[in-house]
Structure 1
Amino acid sequence: MTRRILATALGVLLLLDALRVFLPSLITIFGDAGSTSPALLGGFALAWFAAGLVAAVVGRYTYSGVVRAAGAAALLAGHLALLFTDGGQPQLYAAAVAVAGGYWYITGDALSGARLAATDRTQPRLVGAWHAVGVTAGLAAGTVLDTLLSTEDLIWRHGAGWMLLRIALLVAFAIAVLATAALHVPAGAPARRYWSAVGPAILLYGVLTGAAARAGAGTMPAPLAVALVTGAGVLAVLVAARPRLTGTAWVPAVALPLLVLATFPTTDGGQATWYGPVAQALGALALAGCLGWAGLPGSGAGSIWRGLAAGGGLFGAGALLFGYYAAYDASIGIPNGILLLIAALWIGATAAPWRPIRATVRQRPATIVAIPVLAVLAGLAGAFVVTAPPAAADASGNRLRLVTYNIRMGFDLRGRFAVADVAAALAAQHPDVVLLNEVDRGWFLNGGHDDLVAVARRLHMAYEFGPAADQVWGDAVLTRLPIRQVRRVALPAEGPTGAGALAVTVSLGDTDLAVVATHFQPAGDTPPQSQARAAAKLVRTLGPRVVLAGDLNAQPGSPALATLESAGLSEQRSVPSYPSNHPIKHIDHVYATNAVTVSDLVAVRTTASDHVPVAVELEVR
């Protein structure tokens, strides 16, 4: 039975990796960063998310093992194709094939009725609902690997060593699938309700409970937050294998929605509260408990219904995922967090003991000890990986180099995760201060990366983050200079995407300079007047030496820019900065008060984002 657990875990791990490529490719390649209508984008995504339902129908007319084998083959083929893609349409469709294959693979397991019953006599190390254990182990492996790689997936790593590691994972999965193809299906048919929860579980884990990058972006010290979430992910495997550790199925079923709600509150500056990562970690355990209870032997059901439950759950999770992130571009009528709550309630409902549970679950003592030890080691490794910010440089002198850059969540024009290219373009300007827009610190839609840490580590700079759209998406200031003060201000909402202003005061020896990073988010073509007024109000409180810069989504002559000028700001001149392959729009600006002289303004040519960086020399008087 250990082979079955391994095959499931590796399949889920590869599916997670495929989703982390497919989802951002949807936005940057098919969606062309917002130029494609949400309806067309959603229809394209949901067509692929329906692969599990198609697999269930196919399984009705063929041997269920064929569906599982076909899914594994497509998952492998998609990943192999990704080894040789370089962004663009090939990347999008290779990832789509891998995702569809992963959905077929999970549905194939459901069709085969593959679940360990209490009467099984194989006496594996993990005795319980083996599929729930495999799913939880795959999710945990994804979090651990993501943390150890500093949230930069294997697929975006270059070099022979990284490619060999990716191939080794694919070979291990292929061997595990072949080794389990002829295994006898254990007695006891899997309950439909369990299979319907697998898709929402992957969604909730990727977006929230297993998102180490999200945990590190809040007010809790990043090493501790990442250690909590990473360690809890591993410990969750034991909870899935031995759900009775939770006492009763009602405990995780009720706790999971409450813990999801506990991750929503923020500080006045929009950051996650100190208990947010605690709720994430406990949520991972509750999620595993729900899967473990739901996966225990129950009443029988026809294979077609199990397959439809699995495919329907995967499709429903895709719809919830699309709706959750679509809310940042268009109004959906409700707070998007409600969709995560729906996923949690869905999973909890599958675990709730609507009927008496008579199955017994046993584990070997070695397993009960080994998994907590591994959880502690994973947590320590996660804490060790998080690097401390470097010490501030010499603050003497009154001249400095500043660069502002909209990095589009770290993806270049071909849809590749290109934080290395972003950092290289910035480093070439030898900046003292960097202002970034569209910084993503854990959106599953964009792969779950922490762009800010990735760029700051390469530039050897300290950083401050200002949430805008939500807790993990917004603006940032990076600097080599000592930081004196930080203020985070939410700007009035004009469109569905939130906006903020991050004011960081740095020391230049005897003089201080306040730099404000902001990204105006207008509603359609309407000038962002209310946001400009709020930013101007903030500038008036920061003293005589202020620089405000960023993607203002306003061209010269706009009323919004006139509002900034009324606060004593002026711009030396503007340069075209968008789109990066042929800049024609002047929407990235650098404004300064009279006590700051701006010179040597240049637009840096690079396609590491859809904008180009704008660099200036500053002299502070």
Structure 2
Amino acid sequence: MELTFGVIGLLFLFADIRTFASTFQQTFFGAPTTQQALMATAVFLTSFLGLIVAWRLGPRRALGASAAVFVAATFLLTASRNNWTDLALSVVALAGGFWWLAFFHTSRTPDGLSPLARAFPLALAADLALRATFRTEAVVDLPWAVAIGIVVVGSLVFAAAGLIVIGVPRQWMTPGPRGLVGLLVIPCLILVAETGATNGAQAAIAAGLGLGPEPVRATQIGSLVLGLGIAAGALVLMRYPARGLAAAIAVAAGAALLWLHLPYASLAGGTILAGGVAAASVALLGAPLRAATSPRAVVAVLSFGWLLFVGTAFGFYAFWANLPAVLAATALVVLGAAAAPTAMRLGPLIAIATAVVAIGGPLAAFIATPVTAEPEPARVTFRLMTYNIHQGYDAGQIPSLDVLADTIARESPDVICLQEVVRGWMIDDQQDALSFLAERLNMRYAFLPNIGDLYGNAILSRFPMDDVRRVHYALEPGIKHQPRGVLIAKTGEVTIACTHLDELSDGTFVRQEQVRTIIRAAGDTTPLIVAGDLNATPGDIEVRLLGEFGLDDLGAAAGDTTTGEEPPKRIDYIWGRGVVGAQAHTLAVEDAKKASDHRALIVNITRQK
């Protein structure tokens, strides 16, 4: 029962971390970086309140109370579909999860063994399998009835296991100094998993897959490769005890190969990293425990570990996929694992179960992925859509991948230009919006990563795609301007340029230079279409530059494209030359709000002879 209690609790904790990160990002995007950092840090400081809970309640009641708060908040978070409510509940769920993790490790039976060391690899495998099964959609973001059903079952099993666990005498126990060092870096281990070791899209793109033009399956391949790594790590631990130094070497070598972005070699790096993370979790959590008078050391060390987590995670995501922040977290894990004492083996049943889950889930998802239809012959007339999908969230900041897919499908576009495409960030619930939409729409895609490897623009098409170019705009000084670019591809015998210009209200000069970059890249190409979110209104200089370049405003008749502006604005465009546009239109505002914070712009395009 302790293993079940640990695995489900860790799965809830992983999910709550993502939900908090995504709701926090969606709610406070655009706020001063320092203010965001202070607010996020304040949330993770709630871990220290576990000292008061433990002092007041003792080993059994502290574990039971923290588990109750944890599971209740997680269930309510799943049931909620309101951004502010989600944010508040995720804070409560995280606090309860922090306390539960510390107390479950330190509130022990007299045998002094922590089940977390055995539960962690299985939880990593189950988390990877769940995300592969649901096409990277988080369980809490699935259709309401499905999400509630899954979480109700998980909560009931968690509660039943918890009642059995706290039904036996328990006492406070603590590891020695080397074991405490291991606990300190456990939160960083979670970040290393989120950004690489269990992130299928990252492993695939680092190896050169998932950029296109190609059909769907890159993320599924990445997840399968990572599952093989976790399985290998678990099976090795069935035969040999967890040695921290070996795990540290695997994590360091795997991370280096992954982040070097080497064709195919980075896939191998992901495998090694995943196996190293699985082994490191056992080494870091498997140190012997001895009797203690209080859980102060464990709670305090884990709390400082959560501050390291929020610092490195914030340093990565707030500073536009700042790789040194993840490498810093990786280095802490390597140092912690190298210092860890030799720990236990995994029992055969646990090791085999971990391997089966780690491989079985991604393999089943890979096999079940439908084969993308062969490209259709180019037609003289086709339907083009440009759509800022708001990272897969609706206007109320609630995940909306299913609604997005249905919304796009109803318009039956032949070519789609997408902006704000996320492919596996923790701050976006780890969802791969491009893979999800391409599979649902049965279309091939090309992708331009602008921020790190997992955020950018994409073109989906029913026609053959070639001559793909990825042009990055000049980086602006400071961090307030996002890295951006233009994705150019020839499809349907028309060259399409998909872009998303700088969003700052005082960024007109930046946007003008970005448009000039498009003009230089396009040259005298014809027929040509430039489509995307220009973050500027029709009278602005940056928009007029496209007209001066000889392009026609094909979507002018559609009108405004925003959903939350008062008054509404027109900032999404389709410009072209050598083509004629007809029947330009957008979505009704109320329908559009259910899918994104923009309205899709759709135009029927006819090539001129």
Q: TM-score, normalised by structure 2?
A: 0.88
| Residues 362 and 116 of structure 1: CA distance in aligned 2, closer, same or farther (over 3 Å) | farther
Q: Do the aligned residues in 1 keep the contact of 2:203 with 2:258 (CA within 8 Å)?
A: no
Q: 1:38 aligns with which of 25, 33, 37?
A: 33
Q: 1:316 aligns with which of 308, 312, 318?
A: 308
| Residues 115 and 378 of structure 1: CA distance in aligned 2, closer, same or farther (over 3 Å) | farther
The Cα shift of 1:380 comes to 2.3
The Cα shift of 1:598 comes to 2.0
Alignment of 1:98-497 (within 5 A): 98-112=93-107, 130-158=115-143, 160-183=145-168, 189-190=174-175, 191-217=179-205, 219-220=208-209, 222=218, 223-238=220-235, 244=241, 248-266=243-261, 273-298=263-288, 303-328=295-320, 336-353=322-339, 357=341, 361-362=344-345, 364=347, 371-396=354-379, 398-494=380-476, 495-497=480-482
The Cα shift of 1:565 comes to 3.7
Q: 1:558 aligns with which of 526, 540, 554?
A: 540
One-letter code aligned to 2:414: D
| Residues 242 and 112 of structure 1: CA distance in aligned 2, closer, same or farther (over 3 Å) | farther
Question: Equivalents in 1 of 2:439, 2:346: separation in Å?
Answer: 43
The Cα shift of 1:240 comes to 6.0
The Cα shift of 1:313 comes to 0.9
Q: Secondary structure at the match of 2:382?
A: strand
Question: Equivalents in 1 of 2:584, 2:377: separation in Å?
Answer: 24
* Runs of 5+ unmatched residues, structure 2: 210-216
Q: Choose 49-58 or 212-221, whichever is displaced more.
A: 212-221
Q: 1:12 aligns with which of 5, 10, 13?
A: 10
Question: Equivalents in 1 of 2:40, 2:287: separation in Å?
Answer: 34
Q: Secondary structure at the match of 1:481?
A: coil
Q: Secondary structure at the match of 2:458?
A: strand
Q: Do the aligned residues in 2 keep the contact of 1:56 with 1:107 (CA within 8 Å)?
A: no
Question: Equivalents in 2 of 1:521, 1:341: separation in Å?
Answer: 28
One-letter code aligned to 1:578: T
Q: Do the aligned residues in 1 keep the contact of 2:238 with 2:351 (CA within 8 Å)?
A: no
Q: Do the aligned residues in 1 keep the contact of 2:469 with 2:489 (CA within 8 Å)?
A: yes
The Cα shift of 1:369 comes to 5.3
Residue number in structure 1 paired with 2:600: 613
Q: Secondary structure at the match of 1:395?
A: coil
The Cα shift of 1:255 comes to 3.7
Q: Secondary structure at the match of 1:489?
A: strand
Q: Secondary structure at the match of 1:109?
A: helix
Residue number in structure 2 paired with 1:269: none
Q: Choose 574-583 or 532-541, whichever is displaced more.
A: 574-583
Q: Secondary structure at the match of 1:442?
A: coil
The Cα shift of 1:8 comes to 1.2
The Cα shift of 1:371 comes to 4.6
Question: Equivalents in 2 of 1:484, 1:425: separation in Å?
Answer: 27
Question: Equivalents in 1 of 2:20, 2:357: separation in Å?
Answer: 31
Q: Do the aligned residues in 2 keep the contact of 1:115 with 1:295 (CA within 8 Å)?
A: no
| Residues 458 and 446 of structure 1: CA distance in aligned 2, closer, same or farther (over 3 Å) | same
The Cα shift of 1:158 comes to 2.0
Residue number in structure 1 paired with 2:214: none
Question: Equivalents in 1 of 2:538, 2:110: separation in Å?
Answer: 64
| Residues 616 and 52 of structure 1: CA distance in aligned 2, closer, same or farther (over 3 Å) | same
| Residues 96 and 187 of structure 1: CA distance in aligned 2, closer, same or farther (over 3 Å) | closer
Residue number in structure 2 paired with 1:72: 67
Q: Secondary structure at the match of 2:264?
A: coil
One-letter code aligned to 1:206: E
Q: Do the aligned residues in 2 keep the contact of 1:601 with 1:616 (CA within 8 Å)?
A: yes
One-letter code aligned to 1:352: A
Q: Secondary structure at the match of 2:62?
A: helix
**Structure 2 residue 479 is matched with structure 1 residue 513:** no
One-letter code aligned to 2:81: D
Question: Equivalents in 1 of 2:433, 2:461: separation in Å?
Answer: 16
Deviations 1:67-96 (A, max 9, x none): 322221112111221343222322222222
The Cα shift of 1:299 comes to 7.5
**Structure 2 residue 562 is matched with structure 1 residue 578:** yes
Residue number in structure 2 paired with 1:601: 584
Residue number in structure 1 paired with 2:81: 86
One-letter code aligned to 1:345: A
The Cα shift of 1:207 comes to 2.2
Deviations 1:290-319 (A, max 9, x none): 232233435857620111111221232122
Superposed CA RMSD: 2.8
Question: Equivalents in 1 of 2:324, 2:316: separation in Å?
Answer: 9
Question: Equivalents in 2 of 1:153, 1:46: separation in Å?
Answer: 24
Question: Equivalents in 2 of 1:422, 1:187: separation in Å?
Answer: 50
Q: Secondary structure at the match of 1:589?
A: strand
Q: Secondary structure at the match of 2:451?
A: strand
* Runs of 5+ unmatched residues, structure 1: 121-128, 267-271, 329-334
| Residues 91 and 347 of structure 1: CA distance in aligned 2, closer, same or farther (over 3 Å) | same
Residue number in structure 2 paired with 1:123: none
The Cα shift of 1:111 comes to 3.7
Q: Secondary structure at the match of 2:459?
A: strand
Residue number in structure 1 paired with 2:571: 587
Q: Secondary structure at the match of 1:311?
A: helix
Question: Equivalents in 1 of 2:171, 2:280: separation in Å?
Answer: 21
One-letter code aligned to 2:572: D
Residue number in structure 2 paired with 1:24: 22
Question: Equivalents in 2 of 1:369, 1:142: separation in Å?
Answer: 16
Q: Do the aligned residues in 2 keep the contact of 1:576 with 1:586 (CA within 8 Å)?
A: yes
Q: Do the aligned residues in 1 keep the contact of 2:386 with 2:416 (CA within 8 Å)?
A: yes
Q: TM-score, normalised by structure 1?
A: 0.86
Q: How many residues align?
A: 583
Question: Equivalents in 2 of 1:104, 1:22: separation in Å?
Answer: 16
The Cα shift of 1:45 comes to 2.5
Deviations 1:305-345 (A, max 9, x none): 111111221232122212211112xxxxxx72111111112
Deviations 1:427-472 (A, max 9, x none): 2222111110000000011000010122222222222211111211
Q: Secondary structure at the match of 1:155?
A: helix
The Cα shift of 1:172 comes to 1.0
The Cα shift of 1:581 comes to 6.5
The Cα shift of 1:227 comes to 1.0
Question: Equivalents in 1 of 2:281, 2:237: separation in Å?
Answer: 6
Q: Secondary structure at the match of 2:183?
A: helix
Q: Pick the structure with more helix per residue.
A: 2
| Residues 162 and 188 of structure 1: CA distance in aligned 2, closer, same or farther (over 3 Å) | closer
Q: Do the aligned residues in 1 keep the contact of 2:489 with 2:496 (CA within 8 Å)?
A: yes
Q: Secondary structure at the match of 1:469?
A: coil
Q: Choose 573-582 or 164-173, whichever is displaced more.
A: 573-582
Question: Equivalents in 1 of 2:543, 2:110: separation in Å?
Answer: 63
Residue number in structure 2 paired with 1:331: none
| Residues 67 and 341 of structure 1: CA distance in aligned 2, closer, same or farther (over 3 Å) | farther
| Residues 350 and 65 of structure 1: CA distance in aligned 2, closer, same or farther (over 3 Å) | farther
